[in-house]
């Protein structure tokens, strides 16, 4: 029986990337000088776990690179080296390289060897320099796994007894790989004991029956030997005895190993080795190996790993309880159906109500499984702010709040790039240099604040800075210069601020590698709108700006308003609706080239007759006989003329693009309670179709060409 090891690789890479995030966060929060011991230990443990996992899987390049980082961290942990800005920056650069190496191994592609070598040289140069206590550190030609500890410069002979528990092989661990690691440390002799092997017909192929006595001679410490076996410390009997040594420091309490008991969660998943059966099935047409990726990894199927979510056991337990309730309700309804009589109608109604309640609770429980804290998106910004502050010479305090606010995993993944652009924009355009802030009477250190919170059925994300703010006059002049606004047009401050979201718009005086090309803010709005959200900005010159993003909690289910247009039913996302009005024909303004406009307080709202845009035969054409639904458009509010409102309900979104093709003005479809299908309207797409009806034909033509 072969073991599918792909799940083990997925867990190894997932935990390694989490470890890198912990290292990066720890390094960014380090205090210069004598760093906090607990912080250093946290960073060290993350590096040590990555090194151990990579070595077990055969990613020796990753393991060796991490070992150099671990040596530097060990010196900091032992008080031999203080934390400095130079050291922190080198370690952060090493974290980036390690992330690239892990990504390359995961995707089975080559790493950038020149970049790896350059950063490794920086690490080794740092190691080769004198440590803070004046002693000479390990040189680059001396960096080797068995030379981390001072006592390892002396030759020792170790006697090792290793007896795996019967189930060890089932965890994916292979003793042979451990022996190979020991053999790299010195001269190794291995003697196997097969006295516990049962008769052939009683032998279980997945159980372990052998034990080994090993003798290792070399410049090796007890800690080095134990590190080889620490992944299986709870799955074996292990004794390590010092036979002889010319180093007196090794003779203190070295007779028997006292294992270091540390919680190891799912570590055995990172130790799987493909069996012969796996290779035969999964490597039918590939015999070449990458110079960076180990042979074992190349032989695994090349299909992309499935996206995964870590779920707390409390959520799983809740779901199991709800399934039990659902089974009870189903059983009750089935019994009523078998013996139904007219006097049992109240029982049937109660049963259906209970079924509805259980279904709603199960829906909410399942949606909770998809929810992740937005800290997954926020965690990248301390490093981004650190790097950009160094590049621009600005002093920035980053404040994060609401990190535990939960959001759908898909929304978090798609919000990453828009948030990065908004943060970069605030750092580059918003916050001033220390000299400028000092002249303006401000604190030299600027504030950048990311805040997330729930509001109704939505999540709000605010990106706030106390920088220069938006210059209304400069924005308006640039818009007039580009022909986006007529010189005699009067715009409110809010409308002027909205201009920055137009394609190609930029007020930057020069183009840098950070921003200034006019590509970005329109993409930010487009990406947020594609998630069913909206973004707006409030800014005061000289005081700062706040970008507010409003998003649905999930893309799978949404609150919708059912409307009727002609003889068809459609769904409008409730988040897009501002208000619904009954209007009079006398209030309508007809403007040449702009159609019908409705005066709504201090602005004019263009009216879109949905039956025209959707190509339907109208039943109601008189505006007084229908309703006007005011919704948020891409740049301003618009009014959708409909026949009637039919009610609100939660709808399950089904993608049209996945199951059919892209349709302009429609974001998806759903099945209503009566079994009929209703299309979910895309407000931004409807506005685009209203402005240019030919877009509908472009979509169809592009789809046919593809």
Residue of 183, 271, 181, 258 whose CA lies nearest to 232: 271
Q: Please state at what angle helix 37-57 crosses helix 6-28, rounded to 10 degrees.
A: 160
- Name the pLDDT band for 131 (thresholds 50, 70, 90): low
Order of strands across the sheet that contains 568-573: 644-652, 557-565, 568-573, 677-681, 666-671
Domain-terminating residue out of 104, 127, 143 = 143
What is the average per-residue pLDDT within 429-453? Answer: 91
Q: Assess whether 113 carries a catalytic annotation.
A: no
384 plus 516 within the same structural domain: yes
Please state, as a whole number, how many other Cβ atoms lie within 10 Å of the Cβ of residue 176: 10
pLDDT at position 509 is: 55
The catalytic position among 15, 24, 48, 497 is: 48
595 and 541 part of one domain: no
Highest-pLDDT range among 85-99, 406-420, 509-523: 85-99
Number of other CB atoms surrounding residue 483 within 10 Å: 7
Least confident of 139-153, 188-202, 266-280: 266-280
3-state DSSP call for residue 143? coil
pLDDT higher than 70, residue 142: no
Q: Six-digit token pair at 614?
A: 């959707």
pLDDT at 410: 81
Averaged over 344-371, what is the pLDDT?
84
Domains in the chain: how many in total? Answer: 5
In a domain, 281, yes or no: no
Mean pLDDT of 422-447: 90
Cα 200 vs. chain centroid, distance in angstroms? 50
Strands 637-642 and 603-609: parallel
d(CA 513, CA 515): 6
Query: In sequence order, which residues have a C-beta less than 8 Å from that of residue 490 and are 6 or more positions away?
Result: none
Higher-pLDDT residue of 153, 465:
465
CB atoms within 10 A of CB 671: 12
Sign of the Cα torsion 435, 439, 444, 447 reads negative
Co-location of 589 and 526 in the same domain: no
Residue (of 578, 688, 682) closest to 639 by Cα position: 578
Whether residue 657 lies in the annotated active site: no
Q: Which of residues 536, 552, 568 is at a domain's end?
A: 552
Which segments of 466-567 are extended strands (E)? Answer: 534-540, 544-552, 557-565
**538 plus 625 within the same structural domain:** no
What is the rounded average pLDDT for all residues in the chain?
77
**Confidence (pLDDT) at 2:** 45
In a domain, 357, yes or no: yes
Look at residues 648, 685, 642 and name the one whose alpha carbon lies nearest to residue 666: 685
Asked if residue 294 belongs to a domain, the reply is no
**Which domain-ending residue is among 501, 519, 552?**
552
Among 153-157, 158-162, 305-309, 662-666, name the one with the lowest average pLDDT: 305-309
Would residue 48 show up in a list of annotated catalytic residues for this protein? Answer: yes
The H-or-E segment that residue 677 falls in is strand 677-681
Q: At which residue do the structure tokens 């998809």 appear?
A: 370
Residues 450-508: pLDDT tens digits? 999 887 667 889 999 999 998 888 888 888 888 777 887 778 888 888 888 877 676 65
Which range marks the domain in which residue 395 is found? 374-552
Do 21 and 84 fall within a single domain? yes
Pairing of strands 627-632, 544-552: unpaired
What value does the mean pLDDT take over residues 203-210?
A: 85
Is residue 306, in this structure, part of any structural domain at all? no
CATH number at residue 25: 1.20.120.160
Q: What is the mean pLDDT of residues 251-267?
A: 37
CB atoms within 10 A of CB 452: 23
Structure tokens at 484: 């986006």
The reply to whether 302 falls in a domain is no
Q: Which residues contact 124 (CB under 8 A, 6 or more apart)?
A: 68, 139, 140, 143
Using the structure block, give the residue that is written with the tokens 């003793």.
Answer: 175
Lowest pLDDT segment from 200-209, 265-274, 419-428: 265-274
Which of 298, 270, 307 lies closest to 8 in space, CA to CA? 270
**What is the C-alpha separation between 62 and 426, in angstroms, rounded?**
36
Residues 408 and 506 both lie in one domain:
yes
Q: Are residues 401 and 507 in the same domain?
A: yes
* Predicted pLDDT of residue 457: 62
Strands (E), 201-279: 211-218, 236-245
How far, in whole angstroms, is CA 553 from its chain's centroid? 16
Instruction: Please answer whether residues 232 and 168 qualify as being in contact, where contact means their C-beta atoms are separated by less than 8 angstroms.
Output: yes
The DSSP result for 455-484, as a single string, is: ETTEEEEEEEE-SS---HHHHHHHHHHTTS
Residue 685 in this model has a pLDDT that exceeds 90: no
Please determine, for residue 276, whether its predicted confidence score (pLDDT) is greater than 50: no
Residues 378 and 436 grouped into a single domain: yes
Which range has the worst mean pLDDT, 65-79, 244-258, 399-413?
A: 244-258
Ranges of H-type helices in 185-312:
222-229, 276-282, 295-298
Buried-exposed string 617-642: b where 16+ CB fall within 10 A, e elsewhere: eeebeebeebbbbbbbbbeebbbbbb
Q: How many CB atoms lie within 10 A of CB 308?
A: 11
Say which CATH number the domain at 383 has: 3.30.565.10
Percentage of residues in the chain with pLDDT exceeding 90? 10
| Claim to verify: residue 544 and residue 566 sit in the same structural domain | no
CA–CA gap between residue 560 and residue 650 (Å, rounded):
6
Sheet (strand 445-455) strand order:
395-401, 445-455, 458-465, 544-552, 534-540
User: CA 687 to CA 681: how far, in whole Å?
Assistant: 11
* pLDDT beyond 90 at 448: yes
Query: Contact, 319 vs 366, CB < 8 A?
Result: yes
**H helices within 271-404, ranges in order?**
276-282, 295-298, 313-338, 345-370, 375-378, 381-392
What DSSP letter does each residue of 48-114 carry, written as one string? HHHHHHHHHHT-HHHHHHHHHHHHHHHHHHTTSS-B-HHHHHHHHHHHHHHHHHHHHHHHT----HH
Beta bridge partners of 236: 164
Catalytic residue among 15, 24, 67, 70: 70
**Residues 608, 544 share a domain:** no
Q: Is 614 helix (H, G, I), strand (E, B) or coil?
A: coil
- The length of the chain in residues reads 706
Whether residue 538 is found in the same domain as residue 653? no
How far is it, in rounded angstroms, from Cα 449 to Cα 378? 11
| CA distances from residue 60 to 43, 63, 102, 242, 541 in whole angstroms, order as listed | 20, 5, 12, 28, 55
The pLDDT tens digits for 640-671 are 999 999 888 878 787 776 667 777 788 888 88
Distance CA 447, CA 435 (A): 15
- Asked if 613 and 561 touch (Cβ cutoff 8 Å), the reply is no
Provide the pLDDT for residue 557.
75
Q: Which two tokens stand for residue 254?
A: 């070295």
Instruction: Give the single-character DSSP code of 654.
Output: B
pLDDT of 181 above 50: yes
d(CA 26, CA 88): 10
Burial 213-234 (b: 16+ CB within 10 A, else e): ebebbbbbbbebbbbbbbbbbe
Rounded average pLDDT over 423-441 = 90
The CATH number of the domain holding residue 154 is 3.30.70.260
Domain assignment present for residue 285? The answer is no
The reply to whether 400 falls in a domain is yes
Pick 318 or 505 by higher pLDDT.
318
pLDDT value at position 6? Answer: 55
Per residue in 327-355, pLDDT tens? 888 888 888 888 888 888 888 888 888 88
* Structural element, H or E, at residue 434: helix 434-439
Tens digit of each residue's pLDDT (9 = 90 or more) over 1-38: 444 555 567 778 888 888 888 888 888 878 777 667 77
Is residue 666 in some structural domain?
yes
Q: Residue 517 above 70 pLDDT?
A: no
Terminal Cα distance for the chain, rounded: 44
Based on the domain organization, do 242 and 134 belong to the same domain?
no
Average confidence (pLDDT) over 382-407: 88
Q: What is the pLDDT of residue 274?
A: 36
Q: Which of 411, 37, 56 is nearest to 232 (CA)?
A: 56
Q: How much is the pLDDT for 356?
A: 84
């Amino acid at each position: 029986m072969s073991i599918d090891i792909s799940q083990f690789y997925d867990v190894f890479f997932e935990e390694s990337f989490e470890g890198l995030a912990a290292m990066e966060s720890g390094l960014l929060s380090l205090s210069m000088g004598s760093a906090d011991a607990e912080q250093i230990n946290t960073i060290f443990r993350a590096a040590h776990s990555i090194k151990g996992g990579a070595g077990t899987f055969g990613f020796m390049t990753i393991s060796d690179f991490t070992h150099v980082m671990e040596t530097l961290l060990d010196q900091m942990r032992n008080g031999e080296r203080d934390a400095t800005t130079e050291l922190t920056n080198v370690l952060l650069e090493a974290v980036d390289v390690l992330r690239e190496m892990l990504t390359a191994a995961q995707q089975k592609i080559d790493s950038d060897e020149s970049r790896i070598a350059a950063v490794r040289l920086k690490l080794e140069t740092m190691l080769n320099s004198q440590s803070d206590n004046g002693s000479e550190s390990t040189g680059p030609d001396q960096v080797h796994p068995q030379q981390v500890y001072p006592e390892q410069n002396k030759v020792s002979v170790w006697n090792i007894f290793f007896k795996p528990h019967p189930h060890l092989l089932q965890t994916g661990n292979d003793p042979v790989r451990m022996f190979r690691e020991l053999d790299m440390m010195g001269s190794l002799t291995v003697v196997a004991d097969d006295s516990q092997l049962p008769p052939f017909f009683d032998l279980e192929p997945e159980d372990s029956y052998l034990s080994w006595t090993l003798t290792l001679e070399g410049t090796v410490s007890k800690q080095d030997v134990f590190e080889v076996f620490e992944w299986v410390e709870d799955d074996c009997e292990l004794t390590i005895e010092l036979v002889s040594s010319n180093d007196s420091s090794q003779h203190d309490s070295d007779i028997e190993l006292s294992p270091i008991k540390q919680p190891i969660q799912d570590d055995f998943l990172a130790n799987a080795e493909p069996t012969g059966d796996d290779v035969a099935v999964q490597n039918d047409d590939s015999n070449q190996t990458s110079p960076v990726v180990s042979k074992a990894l190349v032989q695994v199927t090349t299909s992309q790993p499935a996206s995964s979510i870590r779920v707390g056991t409390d959520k799983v337990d809740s779901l199991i309880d709800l399934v039990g309730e659902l089974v009870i309700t189903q059983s009750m309804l089935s019994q009523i159906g078998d013996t139904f009589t007219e006097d049992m109608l109240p029982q049937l109604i109660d049963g259906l109500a209970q079924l509805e309640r259980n279904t709603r609770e199960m829906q909410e429980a399942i949606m909770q499984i998809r929810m992740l804290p937005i800290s997954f998106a926020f965690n990248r910004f301390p490093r981004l702010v650190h790097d950009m502050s160094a590049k621009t010479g600005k002093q920035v305090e980053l404040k994060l709040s609401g990190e535990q606010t939960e959001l759908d995993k898909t929304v978090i993944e798609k919000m990453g790039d828009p948030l990065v652009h908004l943060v970069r924009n605030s750092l580059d355009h918003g916050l001033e240099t220390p000299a400028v802030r000092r002249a303006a009477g401000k604190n030299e250190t600027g504030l950048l604040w990311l805040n997330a919170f729930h509001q109704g059925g939505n999540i709000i994300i605010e990106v706030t800075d106390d920088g220069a703010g938006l210059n209304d006059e400069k924005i308006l002049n640039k818009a007039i210069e580009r022909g986006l606004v007529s010189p005699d047009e009067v715009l409110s401050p809010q409308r002027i601020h909205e201009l920055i979201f137009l394609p190609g718009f930029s007020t930057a005086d020069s183009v840098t590698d950070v921003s200034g090309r006019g590509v970005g803010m329109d993409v930010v709005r487009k990406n947020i709108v594609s998630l069913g959200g909206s973004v707006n900005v409030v800014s005061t010159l000289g005081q700062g700006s706040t970008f507010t993003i409003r998003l649905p909690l999930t893309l799978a289910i949404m609150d919708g308003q059912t409307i009727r247009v002609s003889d068809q039913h459609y769904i409008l996302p409730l988040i897009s609706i501002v208000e619904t009005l009954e209007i009079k024909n006398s209030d309508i303004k007809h403007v040449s080239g702009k159609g019908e406009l409705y005066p709504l307080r201090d602005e004019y709202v263009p009216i879109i007759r949905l039956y025209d845009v959707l190509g339907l035969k109208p039943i109601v054409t008189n505006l007084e006989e229908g309703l006007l639904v005011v919704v948020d458009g891409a740049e301003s509010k618009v009014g959708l003329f409909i026949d009637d409102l039919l009610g609100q309900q939660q709808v399950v979104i089904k993608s049209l693009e996945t199951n059919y093709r892209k349709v302009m003005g429609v974001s998806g479809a759903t099945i209503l309670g009566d079994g009929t299908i209703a299309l979910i309207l895309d407000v931004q797409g409807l506005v685009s179709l209203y402005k240019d009806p030919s877009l509908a034909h472009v979509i169809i033509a592009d789809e046919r060409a593809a």
